[in-house]
A = this chain, B = another copy of it.
Amino acid sequence: MTQPFALGWIGTGIMGLPMAGHLLDAGWPLTVYTRTKAKAAPLIAKGAHWADSPRAVAESSEVVFSMLGYPADVEEVMLGRDGALHGLAADGVLCDMTTSDPALAERLFDMASQKGCHALDAPVTGGETGARTAKLAFFVGGSEVAYQRLQPCFKAMGTNMAFFGGPGCGQKAKLANQTAVAGIMFSLCESLLFVQEAGLDADHWLELVAAAGAAGGAPMNTRGRRILKKDFAPGFYVKHFVKDLGLCLQECRRMGLVLPGITVAEQVYRSMQVQGYGQQGTQSLISWLAALSSTAWRGGKS
């Protein structure tokens, strides 16, 4: 196999669109399919080929990436009647980067193996900013040979990657990351709301804590500052976080693991979705929390 090899891409949302763009920019030939063709226009303008189905994408690709919303989408796009697996030639690779069910990743791997193909589960972290700036991190599981083969692609889209083991291990590592993110969102939103209600200067407080506190570092600096600006754009959708936390709890049940923190977090984010926060960023938790006390988040001065 020579580089650049032919790539396929399925899914052009806030993550998929910039990620595929980086692969095009790096010189790979790329065939794209997405549910709403108009959303692929920026890629087609950059030289991507359009295909009318996931199967058609796979027929002209050695590697097919997918970046979708939900496990059901992955199942449909990869294994459905017009799914990519049916179009893939032997030795081809299916690489799903959706945060999805580890059990589905195992099934994809097994079905790809039966066709002499390879599968990777490679969900990412870094959000929309990471996708735009090619600074994502990849949690990878599945075929280690395929992982090595796809290194140049991952490097075009991100800065960090690690292989965690067989099929589903990338998903499990990502779900552990989402478990960590849940606690951090509560940390940020409850502390900032406390600051506001105590009548303190939130900009001032964030500056001190981000720089020096036991709670400091990157999340306080980046997401904390978004919250101060009342910037609730996704970043990362509440509706997708509800899906991720549901997957976390499902995996906990399979493992016999009890985690009270994410159990509360899943219920809270589910309430947010029901109340209409689904299309907002996860940081809008602060508005939901404020409403519990019949108050509102007023933001910082900046």
- Chain A interface (Cβ < 8 Å from any Cβ of B): 125-127, 130, 135-137, 139, 158-162, 164-165, 169, 172-173, 175-177, 179-188, 190-195, 197-201, 204-205, 207-209, 211-221, 223, 236, 248, 251-252, 255-262, 264, 268, 289, 292-293, 295
Q: Assess whether B264 is in contact with A261, with CB atoms less than 8 Å apart.
A: yes
Complex: A197 Cα to B159 Cα, angstroms? 27
| A137 nearest in chain B by CB position | B212
How many copies make up the complex? 2
Q: Which residue of B lies closest to A165 (CB)?
A: B200
Could you tell me the distance between the alpha carbons of A191 and B181 in the complex, rounded to whole angstroms? 9
Say yes or no: A200 contacts B169, CB within 8 Å: yes
Residues of B within 8 A of A158 (CB): 212
Q: What's the Cα separation between A186 and B261 when bound, in Å?
A: 6
How far is the CB of A254 from the nearest CB of chain B, in Å? 9
A135-B212, A187-B182, A208-B139 in contact; A172/B198 too (CB < 8 A)? yes
Q: Say how far A183's CB is from chain B's closest CB, in angstroms.
A: 3
Report the Cα distance A207→B161, complex, angstroms.
10
A177 and B213 within 8 A (CB) = yes
B160 touches A198 (CB 8 A): no
- The listed residue with most B CB atoms (<10 A of its CB), out of A125, A215, A223, is A215
Q: For A209, give its contact among B177, B209, B260 (CB under 8 Å).
A: B177
Chain B contacts of A259 at CB under 8 A? 190, 193-194, 289
Q: From known contacts A169-B200, A180-B215, A213-B177, infer whether A261 and B126 are also in contact, taking CB-CB under 8 Å.
A: no
